[in-house]
């Protein structure tokens, strides 16, 4: 019962901060809300008795991806004027889509059940789960993992080159 209460608290905070990620006008505030969202997801992984996934969530997403995002935002110096121009035409469609999604979610919640069965997992089974995840990640999925890391590196180098070219043209 207490786990379910914590789940709802973490889930509500995650959803509210995810909405703040999308609706925030400042990229820095959006990144901070993203950090809060990802930490709430890690807390939910803890409730699911998966500390390995929670640690990976914190280290990889909060520790690396969000820092990379903040670095790119500060490097590119995104102005609020450009963001307003880009999204101004899509406001009505975004509001309609959000209301439709909210109606569908309410319908699904009214038809479904909010309780989930708790698993009878022992500590030994959970430890084995972490071992299995590690073996699969570093054997079967090592190639996609390395490709993604190279893509992130290329994107970062590309952002630096674009900024340096733009500053060179502006005479700064």
For each of the domains in the chain, give its residue range(s) and CATH number, in order of start.
1-78 (1.20.120.1200)
Write down the pLDDT at residue 11: 93
Write down the pLDDT at residue 114: 61
Tokens matching residue 115: 């309780």
Kindly state the percentage of the chain with pLDDT values over 90: 18
Q: Give the count of beta carbons closer than 10 Å to the beta carbon of residue 42.
A: 22
Distance, in Å, from the CA atom of 121 to the CA atom of 138, rounded to the nearest integer, reads 25
What value does the mean pLDDT take over residues 5-22? 92
Contact call for residues 13 and 33 (beta carbons, < 8 A): no
Q: Tell me the range of 41-55, 82-96, 114-128, 157-171 where mean pLDDT is highest.
A: 41-55
Q: Which residue has the higher pLDDT, 89 or 100?
A: 100
Question: Side-chain half-sphere of 58: how many Cα atoms within 13 Å?
Answer: 12
Write down the pLDDT at residue 172: 55
Write down the pLDDT at residue 115: 66
Write down the pLDDT at residue 113: 66
What is the SS3 assignment for the chain? CHHHHHHHHHHHHHHHHHHHHHHCCCHHHHHHHHHHHHHHHHHHHHHCCCHHHHHHHHHHHHHHHHHHHHHHHHHHCCCHHHHHHHHHHHHHHHHHHHHHHHHHHHHHHHHCCCCCCCCCCCHHHHHHHHHHHHHHHHHCCHHHHHHHHHHHHHHHHHHHHHHHHHHHHHCC
- Name the pTM for this structure: 0.59
| pLDDT of 67 strictly over 80 | no
Contact call for residues 17 and 36 (beta carbons, < 8 A): yes
Q: What is the rounded average pLDDT for all residues in the chain? A: 80
């Amino acid at each position: 019962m207490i786990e379910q209460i914590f789940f709802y608290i973490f889930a509500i905070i995650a959803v509210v901060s995810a909405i703040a990620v999308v609706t925030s006008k400042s990229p820095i505030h959006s990144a901070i809300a993203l950090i809060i969202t990802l930490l709430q997801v890690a807390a939910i992984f803890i409730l699911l008795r998966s500390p390995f996934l929670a640690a990976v969530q914190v280290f990889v997403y909060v520790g690396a991806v969000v820092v990379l995002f903040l670095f790119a935002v500060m490097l590119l110096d995104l102005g609020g004027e450009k963001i307003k121009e880009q999204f101004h035409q899509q406001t009505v469609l975004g509001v309609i889509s959000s209301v439709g999604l909210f109606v569908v979610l309410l319908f699904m919640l009214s038809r479904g059940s909010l309780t989930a069965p708790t698993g009878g997992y022992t500590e030994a089974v959970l430890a084995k789960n972490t071992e299995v995840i590690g073996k699969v990640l570093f054997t079967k999925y090592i190639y996609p993992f390395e490709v993604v890391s190279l893509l992130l590196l290329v994107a970062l180098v590309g952002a630096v080159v674009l900024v340096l070219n733009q500053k060179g043209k502006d005479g700064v």
